[in-house]
Amino acid sequence: MAAEDDERLSDLADAVGRAAFFPARAAARAWRDQLEEAVDDVLSTPELARVIDRALAGPLPEEIARSVVRHRVLDRIVAELAASGELERLLTQALGSPQTLELTDRVLASEETQHAMRHVASSPELRDAIALQTTGLAEEVVGGLRSAAVGIDDRAEHAISRRTRPERPPYAGVATRALALATDTILATLLYTAAVGVVALIGSLVGGIRPQWLVGTFLAVGWIAVVGSYFVLGWSAAGQTFGMRLLKLRVLVRPDARVPSVGRSIVRLIGLVLSIIPLFLGFVPILFTERRRGLADYMAGTVVLYDESQP
């Protein structure tokens, strides 16, 4: 019974307290509404607008910017956005928006972008970089082929003749020479094809070349002239053809180690043809002889060496 009386007294005290503070709360609410209206009136006055304009025209913006930089405000904001994942969401949303895609298309299609791309594509620096990369790749490929061919030279000689040399000889073996010959054959064929194309163009301008047997004769003579000149000029002028240069080989006359003359080069070309005709049997002596000489080398008195001095 006493507990119920105490509870009723407590409720009565709360009601009395709320009733006592009601006028104060009503006054505070009215005062807050009046304060908000007063602040709105102040902010909308032209005088405040002029004060803000003069402040922004002065050094205040620069001071604020320096303070933001000094206290690393932007770094802290970005770090907080990144930690919360909000930065990633904003970036994804911005990049995937239609406005961003439209802006990207407009930038790429603009005349300024096209001009910049043409300028970059035609710049000497880009061409030099591409040429450098291409040259480096070609050198690596050719170097790898040469190393593999030199290894095959030694293994093939050992497998056929059962000869084991204490050190690698300076004379080129069958694999490197065969690879150089294949390269030279392709290059000579390209030169011959280009020459035939020029002759065919000239012939079409004058009404064609007749009879057919004459055309066949021209083709055969042209093949001999182009291929023969390719090998003879390369051997007699520099001691190597383009294919031999790629494989770093050089043909010389022993014992004076000079490049062969034109006459000796013609004899060597005849020996090369004779080596090829009977199923390449003219190259078999390379596997057995001390200086790795084939039939063409015996006929012309030459040897083929690894040209280690070539860069």
- pLDDT tops 60 at residue 190: yes
Confidence of residue 53 (pLDDT cuts 50, 70, 90): confident
Residue range 252-260: mean pLDDT, rounded: 84
Residue range 279-308: mean pLDDT, rounded: 92
Per-chain mean pLDDT for the chain: 79
The residues spanned by each domain of the chain are 127-306
Model pLDDT, residue 16: 47
Task: Tell if the pTM clears 0.85, that is, is over it.
Answer: no
Model pLDDT, residue 57: 79
Model pLDDT, residue 242: 94
Residue range 87-113: mean pLDDT, rounded: 79
Question: Which of 6-20, 59-73, 121-135, 261-275 shows the highest mean pLDDT?
Answer: 261-275
Question: Half-sphere exposure of residue 30, counting CA atoms within 13 Å on the CB side?
Answer: 6
Lowest mean pLDDT among 105-109, 273-277, 281-285, 302-306: 105-109
Cβ–Cβ < 8 Å for 265, 159: no
- pLDDT tops 50 at residue 66: yes
Question: Over the stretch 34-47, which tens digit does the pLDDT of each residue have?
Answer: 656 665 665 567 76
